[in-house]
């Protein structure tokens, strides 16, 4: 282990009485909090803390502030942008032990949670009252709500229900200084002053620690129905989607998988997607009893008119779950086959989807790099993967990735639809945002974090001085 | 007219070549831009400008910045919080002449508008393509989208579609310095850096001039159905609403009117609400053909089970419009009868609605002040009116109003659900937000507006130094 700085040693000494064995510097502990799902190399923090209360977070922040020690908030480490990977000399604050649902108030349409509550845990708790928490990122079985808020997480149900931002009514934020801010509201509506709550959503840990969130829950529709439909290719699937939306249908899920994605999951999926399928749509509807199925049938008919080749509707909950599981297998199956794949989640205006596909294919295949696209078709948010197996292939693919991101911006889109910037896209964020705007954002950050101790080096490219 | 300051005279001289006759200081022009719908006394600006392009706004801001002249952005003046009422020595920038829809891209689900486009104009333009712009504040026939964004405007359809925030993908903001910021995205999803777009939404002109907005439009459901139902009182209506939502129905409108509200509109409305009704719900559903009516019938049945007394479903579009018009008559009819009424739009967690009603009635009637409540029941957002006819009555009612707002906060609610703070609630905002938080918000404002020239004195109580 590297020699620790005096600041860190002092911090450890001062915090030992507060955090006890929940403040650790051993290699095993540091390994646990070093990486995420970005594929980027893990980092080694100077120490890691597992607070169980806001007061502990405040105590830690205060001491770190005085000593100038940088801090990295962490949820379950399921992020895909490296936003929780620590640098040397930094202290990770892992919120997995702050995992209580403090209030669950279906009548008032909200829950108050600690940041370490797992996404699925809230959704399940809400479901016992006939409610749901809509945002469902791919990692919903393990990711935490604090992380969801910090990254403005999306998910498959976003096409109908929107992303995390729509569900965040308020947050309690502990600043780097230890100051506690209670932001937002507990009523459905409410305006008053600048909306700092929305500023915190998606800020990737750069403004402060989220120690509590007030999240909107909604009545769960009684019925959910699921189907898959196949198409000649992704463009045909996309055209069918447009037609469905144009007729006023709003499915709760509209996921696409291209041929390589289908090939990757076929050996594992419990669903037998036809071999000749060039693309597959996974569609879910929900609503009052009876309506969900009527809607799904109407959608299937529109899709068939628009060129769908085959379709299947799930009869039972276990079939529905098998279909969803098949879709969720894509990321891990690809990873298994292409260990060094580069995964981006770009978003474009929907009408540019065809151009994105054509030009991305040209770019990737022109350099002999196999690729794969799947994801949230209804949102214009696709996971584009460059399928690399070796480090050498990945190196060759990197410039293509950069061109793909530039292409996305040229098409009027965003370099990240939902994964965030973190470390992974920090150095390409200027493809999308001009430097003066980033500088202004940093000034806003500085109001809340004047010493620059909150998750330094994430989102914003380091300044020359750093 | 008061003597103008040297700064204003210099500004006028420098801007004359740019703005010509669209820069005025005559009493007639200043009267046009002095007031809003808050009931607060109008102000008299030093000058008023009607720019027709962003470049003119930039030119104006640059000169004003150099000279230290404060600026007040203005839409249609339909706001209810005095946020566009100018102070002496301030220059109003009226955006009504910047009223072009720059792009309308139904395929991509967005429109790009200048700030002076009227809300209804966008909705109608979208409807020609089978689309809609959901936020529909009461003044949708005249209010502008720039004002809607600046106030995060709500409306009747918010219960299903949410408020303005959900539809703002991006804004072009001209800072007080004249710097141009392009914030946000043109794709459905997109995360990248701090979300300054959301910070601008609801900022009431305190951060900069919105010179363009990229707004989300959605496919308009083919069918809309409308009905009214009566109840013994507002609480019975509220219980019916809970039951409807709990069964998974999401009406596009769920408006309540209490007995005084019904009494006020009866002479004018084309709808014959029964005399004995203690409260009325106005409900709209939408969706694919056939579905909307099925939904409305199912809702009416649930409401009847929950105690609805009478109901009527509109047969034709003209009947539907008559029902909506009846609801929209409430504010003006009350104003006609009670010229000095105090109108608040409080929001509370829905389960506290009963307590709000009981305690508000106690407060108001205990002091002999008649009151009225109507508005967005599904959102827990009510327009509470203290029905004063004279200035003397209004003075007597003011302390009651303050107690009502404090009660709202005590119940976990917000002092403004959708109207905003402006001047009207500036001095009571500390009932809801602690001073240190307001101070922090002001620091964030200072990043974008370092000289404090953007709409000074609005939202934030003036500092002692001022």
Residue B267 corresponds to which tokens in the numbers above?
């002479």
pLDDT for B75 equals 98
Question: In A21-127, which ranges are E strands?
Answer: 23-24, 47-49, 71-74, 91-94, 101-105, 110-113
**Which residue of A161, A189, A354 to mutate against B (max B Cβ within 10 Å)?**
A189
Assess contact for B66 and B178: CB atoms under 8 A.
Answer: no
Structure letter (DSSP) for residue B223? E
| Residue A211: pLDDT over 60 | yes
The closest alpha carbon to A379, from A333, A331, A346, belongs to A346
Select the residue from A194, A206, A208, A295 to test the B interface by mutation, using most B Cβ atoms within 10 A: A194
Query: φ, ψ for residue A162 (rounded to 5)?
Result: 80, 175
Q: In this predicted complex, what is the ipTM?
A: 0.94
Helices assigned H by DSSP within B80-186: 119-127, 145-151, 158-161
Residue A422 pLDDT level (bands cut at 50, 70, 90): very high
Q: Find the closest chain B residue to A172 by CA distance.
A: B437
**The pLDDT of residue A384 is above 90:** yes
**What angle do the packed helices A291-305 and B291-305 form, to 10 degrees?**
170
Across the interface, whether the CB atoms of B352 and A151 are under 8 A apart is answered: no
Q: Which of A165, A124, A106, A185 is nearest to B245 (CA)?
A: A106
B300 within 8 A of B229, measured Cβ to Cβ? yes
Tell me: pLDDT of A464 over 70.
no
> How close is the nearest chain B Cα to the Cα of A83, in Å?
12
Residue of chain A whose alpha carbon sits nearest to that of B203: A194
* Three-state SS at A37: coil
Residue B434 burial by CB count (10 A; 0-12/13-18/19+): exposed, middle or buried?
exposed
Tell me the C-alpha to C-alpha distance, in Å, between residue B36 and each of A85, B198, B281. 51, 25, 29
Contact B245 A219 (CB under 8 A): yes
Q: Tell which phi-psi region holds residue B190, choosing left (phi > 0), alpha (psi between -120 and 50) or beta.
A: left
Residues of B in contact with A447 (CB under 8 A): 440, 443-444, 447
Query: Smallest Cα–Cα separation from B40: which of B426, B452, B329?
Result: B426
Are B210 and B71 in contact by the 8 Å Cβ rule? The answer is no
Residues of B in contact with A220 (CB under 8 A): 248
The CB density around residue B88, as the number of other CB atoms within 10 Å, is 10
> Is residue B452 a contact partner of residue B200, using CB atoms and an 8 Å limit?
no
pLDDT at A465: 46
Contact assignment for B441 to A194 by CB distance below 8 Å: yes
Q: Smallest Cβ distance to B191: which of A380, A418, A434?
A: A418
Q: What is the pLDDT of residues B88-127, one digit of tens each?
A: 999 999 999 999 999 999 989 999 999 999 999 999 999 9
Pairwise CB contact (< 8 Å): B350 & A416: no
Report how many Cβ contacts below 8 Å link chain A to chain B. Answer: 264
Lowest mean pLDDT of A227-236, A349-358, B297-306, B328-337, name the range: A349-358
* Beta-carbon separation of A351 and B219 below 8 A: no
Predicted local confidence at residue B463, as pLDDT = 63
Q: What is the CA radius of gyration of chain B?
A: 23
Task: Give the relative orientation of helices A6-19 and A54-67 as an angle to the nearest 10 degrees.
Answer: 160
- A272–chain B nearest CA distance, Å: 31
- B3 pLDDT exceeds 90? no
Q: Pick the range with the lowest mean pLDDT from A8-17, A162-171, A371-380.
A: A371-380
Cβ pair A381:B187 closer than 8 A? yes
pLDDT on residue B250: 85
Is pLDDT at B2 greater than 80 in this prediction? no
pLDDT of amino acid A288: 77
* 3-state helix vs strand vs coil in chain A, percent to 5: 40, 20, 40
Torsion sign over Cα B174, B179, B180, B185? negative
Q: What is the rounded average pLDDT of the residues A230-237?
A: 93
Calculate mean pLDDT across residues A347-354: 88
- Rounded Cα distance, A326 and A72, in Å: 34
Rounded Cα gap, residues A181 and A213, in angstroms: 12
Give the per-residue pLDDT at B464: 54
Whether residues B193 and A437 touch (CB distance < 8 A) is answered with yes
Answer yes or no: do A248 and B219 touch at CB < 8 A.
yes
SS3 B289: coil
Instruction: Tell me if A187 and B432 make a contact (CB, 8 A cut-off).
Output: no
pLDDT averaged over every residue in chain A: 94
Look at B417 and A444 and tell me if their CB atoms are within 8 Å: no
The answer to whether residue B248 scores a pLDDT higher than 80 is: no
Work out the number of other CB atoms within 10 angstroms of the CB of residue B359.
Answer: 17
Average pLDDT over residues A323-342: 94
CB A280 within 8 A of CB A231: yes
């Amino acid at each position: 282990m590297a020699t620790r700085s005096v600041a860190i040693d002092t911090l450890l000494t001062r915090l030992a009485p507060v955090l006890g064995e929940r403040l650790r510097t051993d290699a095993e502990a540091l390994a646990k909090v070093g990486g995420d799902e970005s594929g980027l190399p893990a980092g080694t923090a100077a120490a890691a803390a597992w607070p169980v209360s806001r007061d502990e977070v405040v105590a830690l922040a205060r001491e770190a502030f005085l000593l100038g020690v940088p801090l990295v908030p962490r949820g379950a480490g399921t992020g895909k942008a490296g936003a929780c990977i620590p640098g040397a000399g930094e202290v990770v604050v892992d919120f997995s032990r702050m995992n209580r649902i403090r209030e669950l108030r279906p009548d008032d349409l909200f829950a108050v949670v600690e940041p370490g509550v797992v996404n699925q845990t809230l959704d399940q708790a809400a479901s016992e009252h006939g409610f749901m928490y809509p945002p469902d990122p791919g990692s919903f079985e393990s990711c935490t709500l604090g992380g969801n808020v910090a990254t403005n997480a999306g998910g498959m149900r976003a096409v109908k229900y929107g992303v995390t931002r729509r569900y965040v009514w308020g947050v309690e934020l502990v600043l780097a200084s230890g100051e506690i801010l209670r932001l937002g509201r507990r009523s459905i509506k409410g305006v008053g002053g600048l909306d700092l709550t929305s500023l915190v959503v998606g800020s990737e840990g750069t403004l402060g620690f989220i120690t509590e969130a007030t999240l909107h829950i909604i009545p769960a529709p009684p019925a959910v129905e699921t189907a898959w439909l196949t198409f000649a290719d992704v463009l045909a699937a996309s055209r069918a989607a447009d037609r469905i939306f144009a007729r006023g249908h709003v499915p709760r899920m509209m996921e696409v998988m291209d041929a390589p994605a289908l090939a990757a999951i076929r050996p594992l999926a419990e669903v037998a997607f036809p071999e000749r399928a060039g693309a597959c749509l996974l569609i879910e509807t929900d609503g009052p009893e009876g309506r969900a199925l009527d809607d799904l049938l109407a959608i299937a008919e529109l899709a068939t008119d628009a060129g769908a080749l085959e379709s299947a509707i799930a009869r039972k909950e276990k079939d529905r779950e098998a279909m969803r599981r098949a879709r969720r297998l894509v990321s891990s199956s690809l990873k298994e086959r292409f260990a060094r794949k580069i995964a981006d989640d770009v978003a474009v205006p929907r009408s540019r989807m065809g151009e994105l596909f054509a030009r991305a294919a040209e770019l990737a295949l022109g350099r002999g790099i196999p690729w794969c696209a799947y994801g949230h078709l209804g949102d214009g948010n696709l996971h584009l993967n460059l399928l690399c197996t070796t480090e050498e292939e990945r190196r060759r693919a990197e410039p293509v990735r950069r061109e793909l991101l530039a292409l996305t911006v040229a098409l009027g889109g965003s370099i990240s639809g939902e994964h965030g910037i973190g470390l992974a896209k920090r150095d390409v964020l200027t493809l999308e945002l001009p430097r003066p705007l980033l500088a202004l954002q940093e000034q806003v950050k500085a109001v809340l974090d004047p010493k620059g101790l909150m998750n330094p080096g994430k989102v914003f490219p380091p300044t020359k001085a750093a």
